[in-house]
Structure 1
Amino acid sequence: MSVKSRNNVQCYGSGPVSLLFAHGFGCDQSMWRLIAPAFAERFKVITFDLVGSGASDRSAYDRAKYSSLQGYADDVLEIVDEFADGPVIFVGHSVSAMIGVLATAAAPDRFAAQIMVGPSPCYINEGDYVGGFSREDIDELLDTMDANYLGWSSNIGPAIMGVPDRPELGAELTASFCRNDPEIAKHFARVTFLSDHRDDVARSPTPALILQCSDDMIAPRAVGDFLHQRLPDSKLVIIDNVGHCPHLSAPDASSVAIKGFLAQVLER
């Protein structure tokens, strides 16, 4: 099986640096459509679907390999080796931001920077760390998914998207959730929401942009502050937006922040 078919890898644009876009839980690469094309004049743009999501080859889904985010990070490194030109800037939404942390820590020479959109290294509160959820909250979320995945998707999609004045975006996220194989989605949810990569963050040496919404039920402001403190070369930008998907609900502000960061990083 080729890497291209496994991850439904798509490439366009050209330039001496590659931008690699990775979507979040329950989504696919179409979620980048309002941002990624604008970079094709200066960069090679690479989009893909995580195995088990979108139009990836679902026969490649191995529960053992993908029992941790490292399995997805290994896929990212294979995509980089096969498709990237020059240094790579990894753009990861939500859980994919931590996949990027693992990839950049493993192969720092391949990455010029990383951009984290709504990242969280750990969703569960512990001691002084505020992840946004108690363990009981996460267990209840996972139990609800197990009992009625489609019903869970219908309720959680609009809540995660936010922007209640644009219900079509919440409906789009719900539809994306519902297109996924429920068994794969439930397994990926456990891997995502029970993961703890706080100790891995400092292992990633690349410059980082942390892009966070002012009101995000999945990744509260304290998470952005935590990452900013522990990433040795990072910039934190807060977008005035309600929700967890600013690349869809606030694409202009997201693009401005990303372009400003890229200008700084590439001028070094």
Structure 2
Amino acid sequence: MSRAAMHNVQISGAGPPTIVFAHGFGCDQNMWRFVAPAFEDRFRVVTFDHIGAGGSDLTAYDPKRYSTLDGYADDVVALCRELSMTGGIFVGHSVSAMIGILAARKAPELFGKLVLVGPSPCYINTDDYVGGFTEAQISELLEFLDSNHMGWSTAMAPIIMGNPDRPELAKELTNSFCRTDPDIAKRFARATFLSDNRADLDGFSVPSLILQCSDDVIAPQVVGQYVHHRLENSRIVNLSATGHCPNLSAPAETIAAINSFV
């Protein structure tokens, strides 16, 4: 089976420059439906589902391969090579921001620019780093997910989404979380929230745009600033959008920020 089929790839737009949109934890490519079409006039637009998400081939899911973000990054490299992409643009939301950096380190010829939406290289606070969560909080979050996938989804989606005045957004994210296979969700959560990719920021020179939301519980502003300072060829845009999912809550602002970079 081709990588495109495995990842439920959808291709649209004019091209030949390619822009790839990658979704975050518990989501699928549908989360880009308000943003990706805006680039079809200039780019070959690619959306896809990580293995284990959305319409991907679940039989391709390997617990060992996807126990770390490297497995997902290897998939991105393989997919982009199959699409004959060179110097393309990779737009990664949340955990896919770090997956994109790992992929670009593995195969720099594939990527000309990266857009990092709500990136976090490490979620756990240390003595000299603020990630937004204590180790105990992350352990509690993962234990809650282990014991009650549906309850976790219902409780966490509104917190992650923010925008309490627009409950339909939290409902969409809740439904997306609930559609994910619980065992896959648990493993992806561990790969995400226990990751520490701070060292992977060093020496990374691919031009990168960081999109930072306000009131983002998952990737607070201090984390976005940390990524910006560690990436030698980056710029940061502080969005008016609140929460962790501006691709859903503020697509026009997200589109404008990406357009200013690409």
Tell me how far 1:40 sits from its aligned partner: 0.5
| Alpha carbons 1:16, 1:85 under 8 Å: kept | no
| Alpha carbons 2:125, 2:134 under 8 Å: kept | yes
Q: In the TM superposition, what are the counterparts of 1:154-169 in structure 2 within 5 Å?
A: 154-169=154-169
What's the % identity of the aligned pairs? 57
* 1:34-57 deviation line (CA, Å, top 9, x unaligned): 000010010000000000011101
Deviation above 4 Å: which 4+ runs of structure 1? none
Q: In the TM superposition, what are the counterparts of 1:57-96 in structure 2 within 5 Å?
A: 57-96=57-96
| Structure 1 Cα separation of the partners of residues 174 and 83 of structure 2 | 31
| Alpha carbons 1:94, 1:116 under 8 Å: kept | yes
Q: In the TM superposition, what are the counterparts of 1:209-228 in structure 2 within 5 Å?
A: 209-228=209-228
Q: Which residue of 2 aligns with 1:118?
A: 118
- The alignment status of 1:6 with 2:15, answered yes or no, reads no
Give unpaired runs (5+ residues) of structure 2: none
| Structure 1 Cα separation of the partners of residues 141 and 223 of structure 2 | 20
Change in 2 beyond 3 A, CA 1:203/1:61:
farther
Tell me how far 1:91 sits from its aligned partner: 0.2
Tell me how far 1:165 sits from its aligned partner: 1.1
| Alpha carbons 2:22, 2:48 under 8 Å: kept | yes
| Structure 1 Cα separation of the partners of residues 155 and 169 of structure 2 | 13
1:111 aligned partner, one-letter code: F
| Paired residue secondary structure (2:103) | helix
| Structure 2 Cα separation of the partners of residues 58 and 112 of structure 1 | 30
Change in 2 beyond 3 A, CA 1:219/1:254:
same
Give unpaired runs (5+ residues) of structure 1: 263-268
| Structure 2 Cα separation of the partners of residues 131 and 84 of structure 1 | 36
Tell me how far 1:87 sits from its aligned partner: 2.1
| Alpha carbons 1:53, 1:180 under 8 Å: kept | yes
* 1:55-82 deviation line (CA, Å, top 9, x unaligned): 1011111011111111111110111111
| Alpha carbons 1:98, 1:120 under 8 Å: kept | yes
Q: Which moved more, 1:199-208 or 1:67-76?
A: 199-208
| Structure 2 Cα separation of the partners of residues 84 and 93 of structure 1 | 23
| Structure 2 Cα separation of the partners of residues 76 and 125 of structure 1 | 28
| Structure 2 Cα separation of the partners of residues 127 and 247 of structure 1 | 33
Tell me how far 1:194 sits from its aligned partner: 0.2
| Structure 2 Cα separation of the partners of residues 196 and 68 of structure 1 | 10
1:123 aligned partner, one-letter code: Y
Tell me how far 1:16 sits from its aligned partner: 2.8
* 1:141-183 deviation line (CA, Å, top 9, x unaligned): 0000011110110111111111111110100000000001000
- The alignment status of 1:188 with 2:193, answered yes or no, reads no
Q: Which residue of 2 aligns with 1:108?
A: 108
Q: Which residue of 1 aligns with 2:142?
A: 142
| Structure 2 Cα separation of the partners of residues 176 and 148 of structure 1 | 16
Q: Which residue of 1 aligns with 2:48?
A: 48
TM-score, normalising length from structure 1?
Answer: 0.96
Q: Which residue of 2 aligns with 1:265?
A: none
Tell me how far 1:85 sits from its aligned partner: 4.3
* 1:88-113 deviation line (CA, Å, top 9, x unaligned): 10000000000000011111111110
| Structure 2 Cα separation of the partners of residues 145 and 103 of structure 1 | 28
Tell me how far 1:203 sits from its aligned partner: 4.1
| Structure 1 Cα separation of the partners of residues 103 and 241 of structure 2 | 29
Q: In the TM superposition, what are the counterparts of 1:190-209 in structure 2 within 5 Å?
A: 190-209=190-209
TM-score, normalising length from structure 2?
Answer: 0.98
2:23 aligned partner, one-letter code: H
